[in-house]
Structure 1
C-alpha cells in the first residue's frame, strides 16, 4: 500500500440507543467497527432518559475494541487512523458540573415528551404561540428541542437550577459532552448543525442569541462555543488513540445527508433509525417553511464559510416502534422478523398504527398526540400489526415529502435511504408503493458515520476531499444501489393515504394541557 492508501478515518456515531466506532478507508469501506447499546430509562409515560456517563463509557469501549479488531486483521495499525469525526443524536440534553465533570441529571433524550406543559406555557408568552421563535430559529416550540428540555430541568431539578444560577454548570448536546470528555475536559464546543437544534442560536448568524436565551431564561455563559462542522477541535486525551485529532462534528441526520453525498441543492435523503428524518438540501438559502417543516443548518463546511441549509421533516418513531413490538409486546423475537411477518399479508387489512408515542412531529406538530392502533377486527393478525408498523413510518415520510414539494415546487423523483430499517426489502417496497416513486438504497448503508468521516477527512486535508466540491467524493461509496419501484395503482395508493390521514386525526390532541389523559 502507498502512504495515502494506508490512511484511515475513525467515526464515532453516538445514536439514540447505541454507539458505534467505525474505521473507514478512502473508499468508505469499513475496515473495523464496534457497536454497543446503552440503557434507556422510561420512568414515566412519555419520559426517556439516558446516563451520559454510560454513553461515554460505551464510546471508549467501542474505540478500544474496534482498534483491536483492526490490528488483528493485520493490514493496518492504530497509527494509520489519522483523524476522528463525531456524529450524534441531536437535541438530547446534558448538563454537568464545570469543575467535577459529573452530570447533574440524566440526559433527557430527544423523543422525551415530559415537556408538553412547558411548551404550552412558553407558547403563552408570545402572540405567535408555537411559532414564537420560528423566524430566528427555523423551529416551532416543541418538546423536541434542547432549550425546552433545559427549561424543564431548571424548573424541576433544584440541583440544576442552583448550578445554573451560580454559574457552576455547563450545558450541551451529546456532541459537546463527548468532546468535553474525549479531550480530557479541554474543550466545550458544539458545531453549527447541532447548535441549530437548540432554539438558542440565530440561524442566520450562527451565534447564540441573547434574546432567545432570555426567552428561555438561560445564562449564555453555560453554552458551548459554536464551531463549523469541518475543522480540527482538539485531540483525544487517553486510550488507544491518544493524540489523534478530532475534526468534523455534525448532527446525525445532517451526517447522513453528507454520507449520501447529497451536497447539491435539491437533493434529499431519508434515514430510518430510531426515528426517521428526511432532509432536503437548500444550499446557502434558508427556506422558511409554511407546511410544518423545519429550516435547519445541514453543515457549515469550514470556519467563516457560509452554512449549507436544509428543510427537514422529522418523524419521532420509526425503528423504535419495531423495538417496542419486540421488547414491550413480544410480538417478534428479533427486529428482522417484522419484515417477514409483514410479507405474509398483502396489506394491513384496514389497520393503521399511528406511532405517536411522544406526540407527532413534522408536518403535524402535535405534542398532545399519542399512539393509536385503529381499524382492528376479528380478522386482524400479528402479521397485519407488523405491516401497519412498517407502514406508519412510510406514511409519515410521504406526508413530509408532500410538504417539501409544496415548499419547493419540485417533486422529488427518487428518494435516497439509509438506516437500520432499510435492510428490510419489504419495508422499502412498502415505502416505494406509498410514495409512488423509486426508493434508492446504497450497498454501504452506514451513511451517518460516513458523513462525519467525510467532514473529518476534509478538515484534515485527506484524499483531496473538499466539502464545496461534491466531485471530490466520486470514489466514495460508489457501489451499485438497490432500487425499489412502486407496484400498486395510484388509486390504491391514494386510498391508503386518505385512511392514514383519518387515523392521524383520531390520535391528535389526546393529552390535555396539564399532561393528563
Structure 2
C-alpha cells in the first residue's frame, strides 16, 4: 500500500491528487474557489466552501484513481499560506469570512507601526505587512461582534487553512499546524520555535486561539472514517511554497525553486542557519523534520498568474490563459511596453502595499499582443528582482527549478531564462506543490526512507538555457525598474 494522496488547497482552486511513489498522477479532482471583494483591497474566502470542496475533491480523486481508503498509505496537506480562518470550537463553524493572504485592509496599522519592523524581523524573519496572518487575526477579533470576548474565554480557534482542514478532517479532535505555516503568521518565533508571547501581546492575540505546532512530516492522526469510506492516515503538512520546495527536491543549501501560480514565490534553501535578509526578503522555515529546522530565504510576488486572470476576466483581452503564448510570440519584442501588476501592492523586495498597477510605454502601434507580452514579462522581471536580492544576501543559485501552472508555457519559461540569465529547469511533474505534500506523508509512513530517496525520484523534463544577450536583458531590466519607480508610494 504505497499510494499517496495530497490535498492542495490554493487561492483560486482546491485540488486533490493521488500519486504513486514515483510521483506519477493516478487520479485528480479540482474545483475552482470563488473569491469575494467586498471593498477595494479586501479579499475574502468562504472557509466552509473550502472544506466542502476539499471533501468533494478527495472523493473525486480517489474515484478517478479507482482506489478505496484502505489503499491509500497516507494523506498530506498543502495550502495557501497566511490566509486567516477563525471558527467556533463548539460548532466548528467559521465566525466570519476568511481573510485571504492578498488582502490589504490592515495597511494603515502596518504603516503606523513600521518602527517595529526590525523587532518583528528578528523574531519571525518576516516584515510588518498586511500579507501575514497576525494583523488579519487582530482585525477579525476587533471587527467581528463578540469575537474578542469569546476568544478570551477560549471559545474560538484560529488557524491558517491547513489547521482549518485538519480540524475538520479529524472531526474537531485536532487543532494543529506545522512549522512552515506557523512561520508565516508573524506570531511564531522561528528561533525559539514557539508562539512568541511578546508578539501575541503586540498584536493582542490570546494564546488559547492558536494551534499546536508539529513537524512538517509527522503523525497527524487520521481522517474521520465516514468522510472517505474509511480512515486515512495524515502524515504531512506544509505551506504551499515550502511544499513546492520539497516537491522540487531542493534539499541542499543554495538550491532554489520558483512557483508560478496566482503569485510567484522564489525559495532558496539556506540550510540549518537562520539568515536574516538585509535586502527586504523574508527568512522562513523551509521544513522541519525530526525536530530539526531547515531555513530558507523567500521572495514573495503577489501577482503572477493573477495578471493573466486579469487579462481574461477583467479586460477580456483573451478567452483562455493558453492564448498568451501565441500572442507573446506574435511580436518580436515588447516595443517598450511594461505592465507593473501591483494590483494588491508590491511584494518583495519593495513591500509597498499602496502601490497600484499600471501600463507604461503605450503608443499608437501598441495592441493586445504587447499588453499580454508585458504581463508575462512582468513575471520574469519580478523574479530577477528577487534573485538579485538573494545574491546580495546569501548566494546566487546556479539554476532555478520552476513549477506551477504558468510554466507549461514554453515561451514564458524561455523568457524567464533570458531575463534571469540563468538556466530554468521544468520538472516532469509540475504539480510539485501537491507532490511535496505527498512526499511528506510518505516520509512519515515509510514509503520513502529519506530525503535522498525522495530526491532520487525528481526528474527534469526541459532545461531552458539563456539565449538573450546579457546587455539586452539588462536594458529591459532598466525599463522595468523605471516603471516600478513610477507606481511606488514609499
Q: Which residue pairs with 1:111 in the alignment?
A: 102
Show the 5 A alignment for 1:267-278. 267-278=255-266
Deviation of the 1:155 alpha carbon? 2.8
Inter-partner Cα distance in structure 2 for 1:241 and 1:148: 39
Are 1:371 and 2:357 counterparts?
yes
Q: Which residue pairs with 1:242 in the alignment?
A: 230
Deviation of the 1:412 alpha carbon? 1.6
Secondary structure in 1 matching 2:191: coil
Are 1:45 and 2:65 counterparts?
no
Inter-partner Cα distance in structure 2 for 1:405 and 1:507: 25
Unaligned runs of 5+ in 2: none
Are 1:164 and 2:151 counterparts?
yes
Deviation of the 1:378 alpha carbon? 1.0
Deviation of the 1:475 alpha carbon? 4.2
Q: Which residue pairs with 1:329 in the alignment?
A: 315
Inter-partner Cα distance in structure 1 for 2:282 and 2:455: 29
TM-score by length of 1: 0.92
TM-score by length of 2: 0.97
Q: Over the residues paired in the alignment, what is the CA RMSD in angstroms? A: 1.3
Match of residue 286, structure 2, among 294, 298, 301:
298
Deviation of the 1:98 alpha carbon? 1.2
Inter-partner Cα distance in structure 2 for 1:241 and 1:445: 30
Match of residue 249, structure 2, among 242, 246, 261:
261
Show the 5 A alignment for 1:63-142. 63-71=58-66, 76-123=67-114, 128-142=115-129
Inter-partner Cα distance in structure 1 for 2:246 and 2:392: 24
Show the 5 A alignment for 1:299-314. 299-302=287-290, 305-314=291-300
Match of residue 206, structure 1, among 189, 193, 200:
193
Inter-partner Cα distance in structure 1 for 2:68 and 2:151: 44
Inter-partner Cα distance in structure 2 for 1:324 and 1:88: 23
Inter-partner Cα distance in structure 2 for 1:340 and 1:143: 36
Residue pair 1:130, 1:142 contacting (<8 A) in 2 also: no
Inter-partner Cα distance in structure 2 for 1:473 and 1:398: 29
Inter-partner Cα distance in structure 1 for 2:150 and 2:475: 55
Residue pair 1:93, 1:150 contacting (<8 A) in 2 also: yes
Deviation of the 1:65 alpha carbon? 1.1
Deviation of the 1:77 alpha carbon? 4.4
Are 1:406 and 2:401 counterparts?
no
Deviation of the 1:67 alpha carbon? 1.3
Deviations 1:277-330 (A, max 9, x none): 00000111111100011000011012xx22110000000001111111111111
Moved more, 229-238 or 310-319: 229-238
Residue pair 2:68, 2:229 contacting (<8 A) in 1 also: no
Inter-partner Cα distance in structure 1 for 2:227 and 2:440: 23
Show the 5 A alignment for 1:424-435. 424-435=409-420
Q: Assess, with a 3 A threshold, how the Cα gap between structure 1 residues 241 and 282 changes in structure 2: closer, same or farther.
A: farther
Secondary structure in 2 matching 1:163: helix
Q: Which residue pairs with 2:303 in the alignment?
A: 317
Secondary structure in 1 matching 2:289: coil
Secondary structure in 2 matching 1:308: strand
How many positions carry a matched residue from both structures?
489
Q: Which residue pairs with 2:132 in the alignment?
A: 145
Q: Which residue pairs with 1:499 in the alignment?
A: 479
Residue pair 2:87, 2:158 contacting (<8 A) in 1 also: yes
Q: Which residue pairs with 1:11 in the alignment?
A: 6
Secondary structure in 1 matching 2:466: coil
Are 1:32 and 2:20 counterparts?
no
Secondary structure in 2 matching 1:133: helix
